[in-house]
Amino acid sequence: MNESEFNQLIDDIIMQIEDALDELDNDIDYETSSGILNITLENNSQIIINRQISAMQLWMAAKSGGYHYNYDVKIQGWQDERSGEAFKTALDRCLSEQSDEAIILDF
């Protein structure tokens, strides 16, 4: 994958997350600036999602830790480099843990 394809994949997933957050009934705010998505929950805890171009990875920072995801062409999705957990699964888990309520994004 080249840098242009990588950036397009990241832009696409950030837009999907934004659209899914807009559909929730929860009071979750988000802001995207310079390709960094900052999600702020009702309790003011945050989850930050950004791209790491040099490593060609999607990164997520949450209360539970920092996560690095590689794109798997076979499954057409992002997987944690250590655990293999899918990015969407981890994002839903982190949102739920930090908000103390079940949150499942639809994307």
Domains of the chain: 3-99 (3.30.920.10)
Residuewise pLDDT in 10s, the chain (107 residues) = 899 999 999 999 999 999 999 999 888 999 999 889 999 999 999 999 999 999 999 999 999 999 999 999 999 999 999 999 999 999 999 999 999 999 999 98
Structure-block tokens of residue 45? 């805890």
Q: Which residue has the tokens 């802001």?
A: 31
Predicted TM-score (pTM) above 0.75: yes
Q: For the chain, percent helix, then strand, then coil, each to nearest 5?
A: 35, 35, 30
**Which residues share a beta bridge with 49?**
37, 60
Beta-bridged to residue 72, according to DSSP, are 77
Neighbouring residues of 96: CB distance < 8 A, sequence distance ≥ 6: 102, 103, 104
Alpha-helical regions (H) of the chain: 3-23, 87-99
